[in-house]
Structure 1
Amino acid sequence: MQKYAQQQIIQLLPRLVALKDVSPLILLLSSSSQSAKYLLFEFAYKHQGDSNVAVVVLSFETTSGELTWLTGKSVSVLKCHRLSIAQIHDQVRPFLDSPKRTLILIDTLDFILPSELTSFIVPLIRQNSSLVVVTRSEAFPYAYPVSSIYTPSLLAQLNYLATTIISVHPYRESNAEMEYEEIQFKSNSGTYLLPFGSHARKCRLDLVQRRKSGRAVEGSYVYDFDCHTFTYLSPRAASSSTDDSDNLAGDLTTFNLGTTEKQRLARDQVELPYMKAQEDETAVGTGAIVYQFEKDDDYDEEDPYEDPF
Structure 2
Amino acid sequence: MGPTTKAQHERHSILQLSNVLNLRNAASPFTIILDSLHQPASPLVAEMIIRGLSRKTNIVYVSFERKFSHPALHTIQAWTHSSPTNLLSAISTALNPHPQSLVLIDSLYDLLVDKQVDLNDLFQLIAVKHSSSIVGIYHTELQPPPHDAPSTYAPTPLETLKYTATTILTCASFAQVLEEKRARERSVAVATTGLLSEAEGVVQPLTAPKNTSTPTSTDISKGIVIHAEFRRRSGRSETESFFLRRSAPTDFSTPSGALLREFAILLSRHPSFQSLPHSHSEEQDKEQEQQGGGSEMNSTFKLDLTDKQRAARENVVLPYFDAQREGGVGEGGRILYEMGWEDDFDEEEDEI
Q: Which residue of 1 aligns with 2:109?
A: 110
Q: Which residue of 1 aligns with 2:139?
A: 136
Q: In structure 2, what is the Cα distance between the partners aligned to 1:146 and 1:118?
A: 16
Question: Which of residues 295, 301, 306 in structure 1 aligns to 2:341?
Answer: 295
More helix by share: 2
Q: Which residue of 2 aligns with 1:232?
A: 266
What is the identity percentage for the equivalent residue pairs of Structure 1 and Structure 2? 21
Q: In structure 1, what is the Cα distance between the partners aligned to 2:135 and 2:265?
A: 21
Check conservation: 2:88, 2:122, Cα contact below 8 A. Answer: no
Check conservation: 2:225, 2:267, Cα contact below 8 A. Answer: no
Q: What amino acid is the match of 2:88?
A: H
Which segment is superposed worse, 24-33 or 34-43?
34-43
TM-score for both structures, normalised by structure 2? 0.62
In the TM superposition, what is the alpha-carbon distance from 1:218 to its structure 2 partner? Answer: 1.5
Residue-by-residue CA offset, 1:223-259 (whole Å, 9 max, x unaligned): 1135474111349989759xxxxxxxxxxxxxxxxxx
Give the length in aligned residue pairs: 270
SS across alignment from 2:150: coil
Aligned ranges 1:194-213 → 2 under 5 Å = 194-196=205-207, 200=221, 202-213=223-234
Q: In structure 2, what is the Cα distance between the partners aligned to 1:270 and 1:24?
A: 53
Q: What amino acid is the match of 2:343?
A: D
Q: In structure 2, what is the Cα distance between the partners aligned to 1:195 and 1:291?
A: 76
Q: Is the radius of gyration larger for structure 1 or structure 2?
A: 2
Q: Which residue of 1 aligns with 2:171?
A: 168
Q: Which residue of 1 aligns with 2:326?
A: none
Q: In structure 1, what is the Cα distance between the partners aligned to 2:121 and 2:281?
A: 48
Check conservation: 1:40, 1:107, Cα contact below 8 A. Answer: no
In the TM superposition, what is the alpha-carbon distance from 1:101 to its structure 2 partner? Answer: 1.1
Q: Which residue of 2 aligns with 1:79?
A: 77
In the TM superposition, what is the alpha-carbon distance from 1:207 to its structure 2 partner? Answer: 0.6
Q: In structure 2, what is the Cα distance between the partners aligned to 1:209 and 1:182?
A: 27
Q: What amino acid is the match of 2:75?
A: V
Q: In structure 1, what is the Cα distance between the partners aligned to 2:279 and 2:244?
A: 24
User: Which structure ranks higher in relative contact order (CA pairs < 8 Å, sequence separation ≥ 6)?
Assistant: 1
1:189 to 1:283, Cα distance in 2 relative to 1, 3 A: closer
Check conservation: 1:201, 1:226, Cα contact below 8 A. Answer: no
Q: In structure 2, what is the Cα distance between the partners aligned to 1:82 and 1:214?
A: 38
In the TM superposition, what is the alpha-carbon distance from 1:16 to its structure 2 partner? Answer: 1.3
**Cα RMSD after superposing both structures:** 4.1
In the TM superposition, what is the alpha-carbon distance from 1:17 to its structure 2 partner? Answer: 0.8
More strand by share: 1
Q: What amino acid is the match of 2:340?
A: E
Q: Establish whether residue 27 from structure 1 lines up as the match of residue 27 from structure 2.
A: no
SS across alignment from 2:111: coil
Q: Which residue of 2 aligns with 1:124?
A: 126
1:288 to 1:233, Cα distance in 2 relative to 1, 3 A: farther
In the TM superposition, what is the alpha-carbon distance from 1:178 to its structure 2 partner? Answer: 7.7
SS across alignment from 1:192: coil
1:220 to 1:131, Cα distance in 2 relative to 1, 3 A: same
Q: What amino acid is the match of 1:282?
A: N
Which segment is superposed worse, 21-30 or 231-240?
231-240
Aligned ranges 1:265-284 → 2 under 5 Å = 268=301, 280-283=313-316
Q: In structure 1, what is the Cα distance between the partners aligned to 2:32 and 2:311?
A: 58
SS across alignment from 1:29: strand
In the TM superposition, what is the alpha-carbon distance from 1:157 to its structure 2 partner? Answer: 0.9
SS across alignment from 1:112: helix
Q: Which residue of 1 aligns with 2:19?
A: 15
Question: Which of residues 57, 64, 69 in structure 2 aligns to 1:60?
Answer: 64
In the TM superposition, what is the alpha-carbon distance from 1:220 to its structure 2 partner? Answer: 0.9
TM-score for both structures, normalised by structure 1? 0.70
Q: Which residue of 1 aligns with 2:239?
A: 218
1:89 to 1:139, Cα distance in 2 relative to 1, 3 A: closer
Residue-by-residue CA offset, 1:74-104 (whole Å, 9 max, x unaligned): x322221232322221222134333421111
